[in-house]
A and B are shown apart, each in its own frame.
Chain A
Amino acid sequence: MKFKTFIWFVGPSLFLMLLFIAAPLVSVFLDSFRITQPVVQTVETETCSAGFLQQTCTTTINTVPVIDEETGRVVTTTEWVGWLSYERVLEPRRAWDAIRSFDYNGLMQIDFWAALRFTVMFTLVTLPLVIGVGLAIALAVNNAAKSLRGPIIFVSLLPFIITPVIGSLSIYWLFVGDGILTRGLEAWLDRDIAMFAQAWTIELLMLFYRVWHVAPFAFVIFYAGLQTVNQDTLESAIIDGASRWDRLRYVIIPHLMPLIVFIALIHLMDSYRVFDEIVGFRAQAYVISLQWLTFDFLAADDAGNRAFSRASASAMLTMIGIVILLIPLLRRTWRDHKGGSH
C-alpha cells in the first residue's frame, strides 16, 4: 500500500487521537506550571451607623475580584508559577518531616501519598488474584460437561460486562448497614458490623470487587488458550509419569505464559486507574486513588471553582507511574521489532 493511500485510511483516526489525546497531554503539561486566578483588589469601605453625639464608623478592608466593565466578567490572570502546583499536591516539606520521624499516619494525612499507597497496593494485590482465579475457573470449566459450558460462560460474563459503578454499588448494597450480608455476618458472629466505617474493610471490599469484575476476562482468555494445548505433549507427559500437578506446572502453564503476560499488562494498566470503585463504595472519606484525586480537583466545589492547576499537576504525577509501567514493555517491543519480525 502506498504511503498516500495509507494516510487516507489512517488520517481520521490519527487526527482524532492527536486532537483529543496528544494535544490535551501537552496542555495538561503546560497547565501544571501555571495558575489562572481572578485579579483581586483591596477595597477600603467605611460603614457608619448612627450613634449618640457622633457616628460610629468602622473601616473594613475587603478583597474583591476585579470585574471587567464591558463584559461583566471577572478578570483573570495567568502566571507561570514553576513547581508551585506540584508542591501543593505533594507537600514535600510535610511529607519529608513525616518520613524523617517515621510518622506513617502523618504521611497518610497528605492526600497524594495516601492515594499513591492505595493505588499501588490495589494494583499489586489484585494482579495475582485475578490471574489465579481466572486460571482456576478456566480449568474447572474445561473440566465440566460440554452442555454446561455455555450457561457458565454466560453467568461468568455478567460481572465483567456490568457498569463498574453499578457493580460496586450492587456489592455496596449487600454490605451496607442493613444489607443482607451484614445482617447475616452479624447473626453469625454475634456482634455489630459496620463495613463502611473504617478504611480496611472498604479496601477489602474494593479488592474483592475488582477480582470479581476482572476474573471473567482472564477466564475467557485462558479458556481459549486451553483449547489449543498440544494434546501430544500432554500424552507424552503422561507416559513419562507426570502427575496431574506436574502436567499443569510444566505443560499447561508454559503454554499459557504469553496469555498470562498479556492479562498482567492489561490488568496493570486498568487497575492503576482505579476510580469507579471509590464512587460506588462512597469511599472518598477513607480511601482515595490517584485518578480520584485528579477527579476531585477537577470537580466543581461548592463555590463553583475548579482547581485546574493542581489537577494538572496530579495528572502529570499519575502519568509518571504509567511511564514506569510501560518502559519495560516498550523496550521489549523495540527489541522484537529490531530483531526483525517484519
Chain B
Amino acid sequence: MSDIPRAMRQPFALKFGSAAFLAFWCLLAAFPIFWIAVMSFKSPVDAFAANPFDVIFGPATRAAGDGLSILDIVVGVVVLFYTVKLALGWLPRKVVEWAPGGQVWAGWIIGVIGYALGFVLFFFIVLPAVLGVLNPILGPLGNPVLGLTTIHYQSVWVDNQFYQNFLNSLLVTGGVVTVSLTVGTLAGYGLARSGSNIAFWLLIIALIFRALPHSVLVAGYLPVFINSAEILRPILGENAPTLYGQPLAVIAVLVSINQPFTIWMLRSFFQNIPNELDEAARVDGCTHFQAFRWVIMPVMWPGVITTGLFSFLLAYNDFLVTSLLLDATNQTMVPAIAGYFNRETTTTDQVEAVAAAVSITAPLFLLVMVFQRQIVSGLTAGAVKG
C-alpha cells in the first residue's frame, strides 16, 4: 500500500462507509429476486410464514415429506459446480473441435442444446433416483433438513400449460431478434458510412420515435389489426388475415418499435470499425454490399451480439404490446402471468404465480451470467462515445 500517495489514501471511515453502502446495495439488488426464488419452492404455509427462517428452511414443507438432506445438498452443489466448470472449459473446446470450419455458430447451438438437455436429464431424473436409494441407508445424513418442493412448478408448467406461453415467447423473441438484427445492421452500416444530411435527419427522427410511448402506437394498430380482414380484402382477396392475435404481426410491431434504438446502437458500433477496411475491400473490387457482408460483418460480431441481447430483452419483457395485440390462445409468458391475478384467491394460487414469475426470470438470470460483459459494453456504447 505504500506506493499510493498519501493524499490518495483513504481514511478508515470512508473506506468502511463505501464498503457498507456497497454491501447494502448488493443486498437490496438481490433480495427481492432471491426471496421469490425461495418462496416458489415452499408450501404455501411456509412461503408466507411470519418468521423468515421458516420461509428459508420450510418446516411445513419438510413435514409434508418434501425436503433435501445434507447429502442431497452436497451432491447437488458439487454437480452444479462441475456443470458450470465443464460448460466454460470442456464445452467450448469440443464445439470448436467438432464443428466444421465456418459453421462454429451452428455447432454452438447444437452443443448448448445438447448440454442443457443432458444436464436436465441427469440433474432431475438420474440424480433423484440415485439419491432416493442412498438417503435411507445413510441415517442422519439422509434426513431432510431443508424443505423444498417443486409441486408449484409442476402445476404451473404441466397443469396450467405454461409451456405453451413459453413457446409463444420463444417464437416472438426469436423472430424479433432475427428480423431486427437483419434490418438493423444494414441500416446501421448505411448510417455510419454516410455523412449526408439525410442520415443525420434519419437519426434525429429515430430519436423522436424512440421517445414515443408504446401505448400511442398500439392505439394506432389495434383498430386496424382487428378489422384487417375487411381492410385487406380488396387487395388480398378472400383469405385476407385478421392480424389481431397473430404472433407474426406482433413480431413486426416489436421489431419496428425497437428499430430506432437498434440502429443507434449498431451505428455506434460500426463507427468504431475503421473506414479504411471498407476502402481496402472496395479497391479490391467489392461492391458496397460485398464489403459489408464479407469484410465488415466478420469483425462486427461483438456489436451484433450486444444489440441482439437488447432486442431480446425488449421482446421478452414486453407487457403492453403483447397483452393488447395477442389473444388468450397465443399469449406470451409475461402477459400470461396477469391471468394469475384474477385467480389469486388462495395462498396456493399466490405461490403458483410466484413460481411462474421465477420461471420467467430464470432465463434472464442465465443471460446475465453468460453475457455480462456484452451487456455492460452495450450500455456504455451509446453513452460514452455518443
Contacts and interface: CB of A to CB of B under 8 A. Distances in A.
Contacts of B207: 329
A13 B259 contact: yes
A163 B316 CA distance: 8
Interface stretch (A42-50, A87-95, A103-111, A178-186): A178-186
A273 B376 CA distance: 24
A13 B324 CA distance: 24
Interface string A307-320: 01001100110110
Nearest to B356: A166
Interface residues of B, number: 104
B337 A298 contact: no
A227 B350 CA distance: 45
A170 B324 CA distance: 23
B22 A141 contact: yes
Nearest to B357: A166
A171 B32 contact: yes
B383 A140 contact: no
A295 B253 contact: no
A308 B257 contact: no
Nearest to A142: B18
B319 A16 contact: no
A144 B18 CA distance: 8
A322 B357 contact: no
Contact of A221 (B48, B214, B383): B383
Interface stretch (A4-12, A54-62, A124-132, A189-197): A4-12
Interface size class of A (residues with CB under 8 A): 35 or more
A76 B50 CA distance: 57
A137 B369 CA distance: 20
Given A141-B22, A163-B317, A298-B222, A282 B28 contact: no
Contacts of B8: 238
Interface string A11-53: 0111011011101110110010000100000000000000000
Interface in A259-284: 259, 262-263, 269, 272-273, 275-276, 279, 282
A64 interface: no
A221 B380 contact: yes
Contacts of B184: 13
A25 B190 contact: no
Contact of A24 (B186, B217, B292, B320): B217
A121 interface: no
A160 to B, nearest CB: 8
A299 B324 contact: yes
B211 A326 contact: yes
A31 B223 contact: yes
Interface in B249-268: 252-253, 255-257, 259-260, 263
13 contacts: A9-B187, A10-B191, A12-B183, A13-B187, A27-B224, A144-B19, A155-B26, A156-B26, A161-B375, A163-B319, A262-B382, A290-B213, A319-B216
7 closest cross-chain pairs (CB), A and B:
A24-B220, A9-B190, A20-B256, A13-B187, A294-B215, A224-B380, A170-B32
